[in-house]
Amino acid sequence: MSATAEIAITRGPDNRSGAAKTALALLIAAPVFAVIATLLASLARFEPTVWAHLLDYWLPEVLGNTALIMLGVGLGVTVLGTALAALVALTDFPGRRVFAVALLLPMAMPGYVLATVVIGQLDFAGPLATALRAVGLPVPPIRSVAGLILTLTLTLYPYVYLVARGAFVSQGARTLEAARLMGFTPWQAFWRVLLPQARPWILGGALLALMETLADFGTVSAFGVTTFTTAIYRAWFALFSIDVALQLALVMLVVVALLVMAERLSRRSARFVSAQGAQAPLSLGRWRWAASGLCGGVLLLGFALPVLQLGHWALSAAAPISQLLPLAGRSLALAAMAAGLTVTAAVLLALVARTTPGRRLATLQTVATLGYALPGPLLALGLFVPYAGGIQWLNQQFDLAWMVHGGVSLLLLAYAVRFMAVAHTPLHTQLMRLSPSVDDAARLLGVGRLARLQRVYLPPLNMAMLTAALLVFVDVMKEMPITLMMRPFGWDTLAVRVFEFTREGQWADAGAPSLAIVAAGLLPVLLLTRVFNPKADHVS
Amino acid sequence: MQRSLLRTLSLTLLALAPALALAAEPPTLVVYSARAQQLIEPLFARYTAETGVEIKVLSDSEGALMQRLQAEGKASPADLLITVDAGNLWQAAERNLLQATDSAVLAKNIPAHLRDPDNRWFGLSVRARTLVYASDRVDADALSTYEALGDDTWKGRLCLRTSQKVYNQSLVAMMIAQQGREATEVTLRGWIDNLAAAPFANDTQVMEAILAGQCDVGIVNTYYFGRLQSENPDLPLKLFFPNQGEGERGVHVNVSGAGITRHAPHPEAAQALLEWLSADDAQALFASLNQEYPANPDVPMDPQVAAWGRFRQDLINVSEAGRRQVEAVTLMDRVGYR
């Protein structure tokens, strides 16, 4: 068969494979549709008094707060994550090699833990605030929108840092060199060439941080700041209107979908080719110690101090460590299984979308990632209600009572829905770096579909897959509300134990399990840094 | 590259393997608990040792547990729901998640105002939500009632926990039950005017703020005070029991309690456990594990708890806290109590 004939065949409408691919994508997005269906079903029950109450006393405040927090956290993680990534990837300063790895560590720190430590130290009664007041430096009220933004930024900047660093490392040096040859200063080259090139990665990371911010309740409530999620909880647990809670969540989901689509549109035309190669890092001159100071400061606040505090608590509580081992085992097992499942689904989804022209699959892709922006309990409920309903119906026909909890599989499914966005982002951005000409070339050469998958798409995705798996792993380790609501008997995890202690404020007892969560999250975080273009780390 | 695909597939299989093995045997007695795990585990261990009945506990927050029970419906494995706060228990009964238990033992052991009028749930321990003050700066004579904390003398000296916590919702609900909506609103507005800091996330933070001098008086559950006192016996804080005067309603008390679930697979076994919890050593242990008051008045209280002094409690049925909870939340929102 001649090459032209092959082109004609593969470029022509391929309805059969297109339909199969759409079906696969639909299957992966199906749980999200189930959740959306639960949300939509709530529209049938309108409760005007609850809505009127929320409109009068909650929505104006929480909308303002939420917008402010999104803006602050969005700016915070973008600026901090990008700056740190650029510093460690492109410049030379004392400790750079260590910081490159260590700056990912705050990712292992659950937001609710950092919040408790920050408030415990810096609120009026905190030791640090008291000491500062004694020397005439009163700390402004930490339980405020500003304090919340600061804390969320410290836990969420690694999403931006991770992907931005990958972008800078893989294409920064060559690009900078080329730009320099064209007469740009390094500073100009960074702003005019490198940063625009890295934009899709940075935006992708920032979007993850924003979705997580929207869904957060633990950190927000520790700070006593009201957000849209607080209003959802108010409707659900204080005004006992689950339907209004679901309706509010629907509003939130629409906003997030718009955000995601805006981000997709902003980079639709952008596809980037990676340039391999490396070059000596830029010298910062006198400023090199300032760079060390910035990295060190971030690490101190986002990781070292909270770990010290947790260690102090763990030592002051008497519980034997051996009690934690089975909990840790289950946490690790769940995180590993969820990572495998989520990444597999995300890879399939990304590949299907890549190899099928048209908007339809891109939209499905967007839908499949929306779970990350929903508060955990609502997501769990959205999955559990249709599932339990179906099982109860089945149960009337057959004896399936044991299935009512769905066992671990339903929990894993919920994790996959929740963290699909986390797995999807690195995969999607990596695929974007693969020039479309690669697809054409493979087709031209008559490479079959399966072979194309194995030889063309998966090899460059290897690293991204590992990154995605590790991100999901760390997130599942920290996850609390879904684990609580959907775990079957005997599946208590470290996060469950932390919840049990902290809900009555017994932080000393929660110290050891919290520390175990951080420790278990460390290994993948350290692995992550080796994943990211290890060659570039060895440039001297 | 072949390997990467294989790896993906094997990871997936690995992910699904345990899920296939999920058809675990149903546990003997299943308890859904929103009470802290460490407070009930020792009790259940003792019960198993005495009777041989195995108990499996699933812990979560009360809202999530109720939602779970509701979704599970008839297929729920749960026999007993244990939770804190009468408001939560009332809510569970209202949503038809609990069944009535006709038990002479429970009727004898638990005072009428501490259980559901229709016997769908029973209080098992009592906590007082009372005043706490800096004993080095405040004279106990300056304190009298919850309502008086809204007076001008306390401007900038009061610390409160957030209205999102059900304990405060129940307190306000009981105030509405006793003195009506208008009077309660006046009191709440006074409180908000007097706040020294934004409401705190928990009672311990309220007491720490008083210790640090940020404020002088607050409202907390007694056992949180007990916990701090155990850590530091010389704590410069004291409890004050308000509304003790002639014709006044007494201290607001609340319960932690339990009810048998509507579709409990083992209602008799669950009732036996409930009755065991309401008497003798088990009842004493239930309370003392968390420095609370026993619900059963015949059971002696923990010496440390007894040392805080005696008080007259509000005798209105605690289920009122549930009945008026939405009204209370609405009112707290209206006055800007976050």
What was the pLDDT predicted at B18?
Answer: 45
Under 8 Å between Cβ of B197 and B215: yes
Residue-by-residue pLDDT tens, chain B, 338 positions:
445 555 555 555 454 444 444 444 445 899 999 998 889 999 999 999 999 999 999 999 999 899 889 888 888 889 999 999 999 999 999 999 999 999 999 999 999 999 999 999 999 999 999 999 999 999 999 999 999 999 999 999 999 999 999 999 999 999 999 999 999 999 999 999 999 999 999 999 999 999 999 999 999 999 999 999 999 999 999 999 999 999 999 999 999 999 999 999 999 999 999 999 999 999 999 999 999 999 999 999 999 999 999 999 999 999 999 999 999 999 999 999 99
CB contact under 8 A, B22 and A488: yes
For residue A111, the domain's CATH number is: 1.10.3720.10
- A100 within 8 A of A299, measured Cβ to Cβ: no
Contacts B59 to A, Cβ<8 Å: 484, 492, 496, 499-500
pLDDT on residue A525: 74
Instruction: Judge: B16–A489 Cβ closer than 8 Å, yes or no.
Output: no
pLDDT surpasses 80 at A388? no
- Cβ distance A252 to A374 under 8 Å? yes
Q: Which helix (H) or strand (E) holds A92?
A: strand A91-92
Question: What is the residue range of A140's domain?
Answer: 35-537
Instruction: Tell if the CB–CB gap between B64 and A388 is shorter than 8 Å.
Output: no
Tell me, yes or no, whether A285 lies in a domain: yes
pLDDT at position A537 is 42
Handedness of CA B320, B324, B329, B332 (dihedral sign): negative
- The terminus-to-terminus CA distance of chain B in angstroms comes to 56
Distance in angstroms (rounded) separating the CA atoms of residues A333 and A344: 17
Tokens at residue A458, please? 């998966």
Q: What sign does the dihedral A175-A179-A181-A187 (CA atoms) show?
A: negative
Q: Give CA–CA dist B308/B240, Å, rounded.
A: 9
A27: in domain: no
Size of chain B, expressed as the number of residues it contains: 338
Contact A234 B329 (CB under 8 A): yes
* ipTM attached to this prediction: 0.87
What is the spatial distance between Cα A152 and Cα A223, in angstroms, rounded to a whole number? 11
Average pLDDT over residues A152-166: 93
Contact map slice: B 33-62 vs A, CB within 8 A: 36-38, 56, 58-61
- Cα dihedral B113, B118, B119, B120 sign: negative
Decide if pLDDT at A8 tops 50: no
Give domain status of residue A25, yes or no: no
**Contact between chains at A404 and B15 (C-beta distance less than 8 A):** no
Instruction: Name chain B contacts of A391, Cβ cutoff 8 Å.
Output: 75
A242-246, A278-282, A351-355: which has the minimum mean pLDDT?
Answer: A278-282
When scoring B13, B32, B333 by the number of chain A Cβ atoms within 10 A, the one with the most, hence best to mutate, is B333
CA distance A483 to B330: 31
Any CB–CB contact under 8 A between B16 and chain A? yes
Chain B residues in contact with A238 (beta carbon < 8 A): 164, 166, 169, 325-326, 329
Closest partner residue to A124 among B203, B214, B333, by Cβ?
B214
Largest CA distance in chain B: 85
Q: What is the pLDDT of residue A272?
A: 54
State the alpha helices, DSSP H only, in A267-287: none
Residue A8 lies in a domain: no
Average pLDDT of the segment spanning A292-306: 96
**Which residues have C-beta within 8 Å of that of residue A396, sequence separation ≥ 6?**
none
A473 falls within a domain: yes
Neighbouring CB atoms inside 10 A of A91's CB total: 17
B contacts of A473 (beta carbons < 8 Å): none
Any A CB within 8 A of B200 CB: yes
| Cβ partners under 8 Å of residue B242, min gap 6 | B130, B131, B143, B144, B145, B146, B148, B251
pLDDT of residue A347: 94
Residues of chain B neighbouring A236 (CB-CB closer than 8 A): 63
Is a pLDDT exceeding 90 seen at residue A431?
A: no
Give how far the C-alpha of residue A215 lies from the chain's centroid of Cα atoms, to the nearest Å: 11
Confidence band of A2 (pLDDT split at 50, 70, 90): very low
Residue A12 has pLDDT above 50, yes or no: no
Domains, in order of start, for chain B: 24-126+254-308 (3.40.190.10), 128-252+323-334 (3.40.190.10)
CB of A237 within 8 Å of any CB in chain B? yes
Is A251 a domain residue?
yes
Helices (H), A104-144: 111-122, 127-134
Residue A340 lies in a domain: yes
pLDDT for position A538: 40
pLDDT-derived band at A277 (thresholds 50, 70, 90) equals: low
Nearest to A404 among B72, B212, B326 (CB): B72
* Total number of domains in chain A: 1
CB B277 within 8 A of CB B43: yes
478-507 of A, contacting B, C-beta below 8 A: 481, 484-485, 487-490, 492, 496-497, 499-501, 503-506
Q: Is residue A233 part of a domain?
A: yes
In 3D, which of A214, A246, A211 has the Cα closest to residue A232? A246
The better pLDDT of the pair A449, A473 is held by A473
Residue of higher predicted confidence among A220 and A455 = A220
What's the gap in Å between the CA of B232 and the closest CA on chain A? 14
Residues A473-496 have pLDDT tens digits of: 999 999 998 998 888 878 899 999
Q: What is the percent of chain A with per-residue pLDDT over 90, rounded to a whole number?
A: 50
Nearest CA-CA distance, residue A179 and chain B, Å: 35
Chain A positions touching B205 (Cβ under 8 A) are 119, 123, 125
Q: Which chain A residues in 29-58 lie under 8 Å from chain B, judged by CB atoms? A: 53, 56-58
Nearest CA in chain B to A218: B201
Q: Establish if B292 touches chain A: CB-CB under 8 angstroms.
A: no
For an interface test with B, give the residue of A229, A461, A473, A504 to mutate (most B CBs within 10 A).
A504
Of the partner residues B63, B227, B330, the one whose CB lies closest to the CB of residue A53: B330
